Amino acid sequence: MGLERNFAGDAKANLGYWGPPTSVANFCEEDYAVTLYFGEFVNSFTNLAYVYWAFRTLLPGENLLTQPCNIALFFVGVTSFAFHLTLKYETQVCDDLSMFWVCAAIVYELYTIGWSKPAKVAFGSILTATLGIISAYHYKLHQLWLHNTTFATLVTAIWPRVLYLIQTRLKGEERRYWIGQFRIGGFCFVLGFVIWVLDSAYCGALRETRKSLGIPLGFLLEFHGWWHILTALGAGYCIRVTKVLTKKERSL
């Protein structure tokens, strides 16, 4: 069972409006199969889920431009749309890096609760500098391992901190409710990862089945698109929980 992320050589890959694909990552959806204007049609439009949740998780009185987690999630949707639209290396890197920054925004909010302003500035500066260096190397190296490792590290930093804060800052029914909400988000993320793996591992079988189903039913088996939808849900739930845990900080 291979887990390749570059399914090159599709019949229309070199005929698209944006030119031949140059991205390191190229997923199971056939290149330019639906229209010559979209490298991966379904994988492009499912990114609207990130945009939706960026706005959906704004609280009354909040503005997208003043909420780091929300604006970062919005840019995940925009950059991932651009990547799957064009299948270019430059847009792939923008997509990859946007995933770093939405996680970093959440990490910053969660770990600086109760800190002084100078400490917050220092932590934010170190986090930004570290990810900036990693981002530069990621762009230069034309590989995927550094992206995968960094993203996994950031995600791993989030969930135990959220559970700790829920246990220490919330009580009773409120605590049970938000643990439940965070578990739903976590389940969506894990399910999305499983589907992402299946999309890579069984691409040949999925493509044959999609051909037999035709459009639009075949769209339901574009599993990378479901990864977008499910991880957008997971991120949305995580942002909601984060805002509850940091509401006192944000009101100061």
Q: Which residues are annotated as a binding site?
A: 29, 40, 84, 224, 228
For residue 26, the cross-strand partners are 6
Alpha-carbon distance of 239 to 214, in angstroms, equals 37
Residue the block writes with tokens 């299948």: 87
Q: What is the DSSP letter of 26?
A: B
Alpha-carbon distance of 236 to 54, in angstroms, equals 7
For residue 71, the cross-strand partners are none
Residue 111 φ/ψ region, left for φ over 0, alpha for ψ in the -120 to 50 degree band, beta for the rest: alpha
Alpha-carbon distance of 44 to 84, in angstroms, equals 5
Which sign does the torsion angle of CA 226, 228, 231, 233 carry?
negative
Q: Which residues are annotated as a binding site for Zn(2+)?
A: 84, 224, 228
Q: Which residues contact 159 (CB under 8 A, 6 or more apart)?
A: 182, 186
E strand spans, 109-156: none
Q: Which residues are annotated as a binding site for Ca(2+)?
A: 29, 40
Alpha-carbon distance of 117 to 105, in angstroms, equals 16
Q: Which two tokens stand for residue 210?
A: 């999609």
Alpha-carbon distance of 200 to 2, in angstroms, equals 7
Residue the block writes with tokens 């199969």: 33
